[in-house]
Amino acid sequence: MSTTANDGEDHEEVYLEEDDIIDEINVDEEDLPDADDDADSDADAEAFDEADDSMHIFTGHTGELYTVACSPTDAQMVATGGGDDKGFLWKIGQGDWALELQGHKDSVSCLAFSYDGQLVASGGFDGVIQVWDVSLGTLKCTLDGPGAGIEWVRWHPRGHIVLAGSEDSTVWMWNADRSAYLMSFSGHSSSVTCGDFTPDGKTICTGSDDASLRIWNPKTGENIHVVKGHFYHADGLTCLTISADSSLVLTGSKDGSVHIVNIATGKVVSSLASHTESVECIALSPSTPWAATGGMDQKLIIWDLQHSLARCTCEHEDGVACLTWLGGSRYVATGCVDGRVRIWDSLSGECVKTLRGHTGPIQSLAVSPDGTRLVSVALDETARVFEIDEFR
């Protein structure tokens, strides 16, 4: 046996003779630590101890992530926000570039880019909206008014008008170019959990924890319709989506029901009953008369809206927290409480790909405007980017 002694410049080989051995220790193999012991002691770590399918990881945050948005005009630009009271603008494939969106005094709960990609709005549980100029990387304005946390933020489809819903039961609208308050909408009796402009920009729909949907005129502030009661949800609304022709709004609720409302008349025109627990997310296919809903009952359901029937039910390992259609394709991506992102074929109902890498529940998903990247954020403090070129 030989070993090399390294002391300064002298490099001499030292040989151990039989006489130099002081004692021999017999090691019983059973006494050696078992590689499986650690894995067994931490089942959660074991569940996530797998390959990472992501092509880019953003690790700038120091807390749980809650929201992600992709620029509609720049295929590289992403915005994320979370529990570290920060937002970040960063670029896919450019790990050395990031802009911190500073100033919130509580978690950043929601983010949205304006239709032209020039501005990004961040909403926080501090009740404040911040609007940033994307190209300059500067704060354009701070919009306040709500007396509690911001639940969601949206832009007008053709202008720099910001709409936001608050936990204090109010909805607010501002002009971001002039940093000016325009209107507030009062009527809900609990947190306004979801809302948006119709695609034609002429109407606002909002849903609340008070189990009602309200339809508003953004010019006058008039509450045109209130939808609630016997034929509608029995518990708080969680999500909504509006048809491309601005005629219908689909709403999901904690009671597991999905309803379709005619925006012009305020009437419930159809009910989609299949989820057995809270519906967390809902989205309309851009290319077919189908909708996708995800729930805490571990299901993604694809609906044929023309017949109000479930086309297929896609079973998950855990609750479905978020979903998005992949552009105009037939594929739907889901973000799950088990830390997986799954891609489903809405025609067959099959899971065609499982994307691993996150070690905590997925909170939000976004697709790049060119349809080649899917970005997910999770409670594991990371954002991950996955290649989805094959599903365009």
317 within some domain: no
Quote the number of domains for the chain. Answer: 1
Which domain range does residue 127 map to? 56-244+255-276+358-387
Domain at 117, CATH number = 2.130.10.10
Report how far residue 175's alpha carbon sits from residue 36's, in angstroms, rounded to the nearest whole number.
59
Q: Which 8-state DSSP code applies to residue 341?
A: E
Q: Which amino acid is at 30?
A: E
Residue 110 forms part of a structural domain: yes
Query: Residue 173 falls within a domain, yes or no?
Result: yes
- pLDDT at residue number 93: 93
Residue 296 resides in a domain:
no
Complete DSSP assignment for 310-339 = EEEEEE-SS-EEEEEE-TTSSEEEEEETTS
Give the pLDDT of residue 26. Answer: 58
Is 78 domain-assigned? Answer: yes
Residue in 350, 238, 343, 332 with CA at minimum distance from that of residue 285: 332
Task: Tell me, yes or no, whether 334 lies in a domain.
Answer: no
pLDDT of residue 159: 97
Q: What is the pLDDT of residue 3?
A: 41
Residue 158 lies in a domain: yes
pLDDT (tens place) for every residue of the chain, 392 residues total: 444 444 444 444 555 566 655 555 555 555 554 545 444 445 555 545 568 999 999 999 999 999 999 999 999 999 999 999 999 999 999 988 999 999 999 999 999 999 999 999 999 999 999 999 999 999 999 999 999 999 999 999 999 999 999 999 999 999 999 999 999 999 999 999 999 999 999 999 999 999 999 999 999 999 999 999 989 999 999 999 999 999 999 999 999 999 999 999 999 999 998 899 999 999 999 999 999 999 999 999 999 999 999 999 999 999 999 999 999 999 999 999 999 999 999 999 999 999 999 999 999 999 999 999 999 999 999 999 999 999 98
Q: Does some domain include residue 289?
A: no
Answer whether 205's CB lies under 8 Å from 188's CB: no
What are 101's strand-pairing partners?
87
Q: Can you give the pLDDT at residue 46?
A: 52
Report how far residue 69's alpha carbon sits from residue 194's, in angstroms, rounded to the nearest whole number: 16
pLDDT at 96: 87
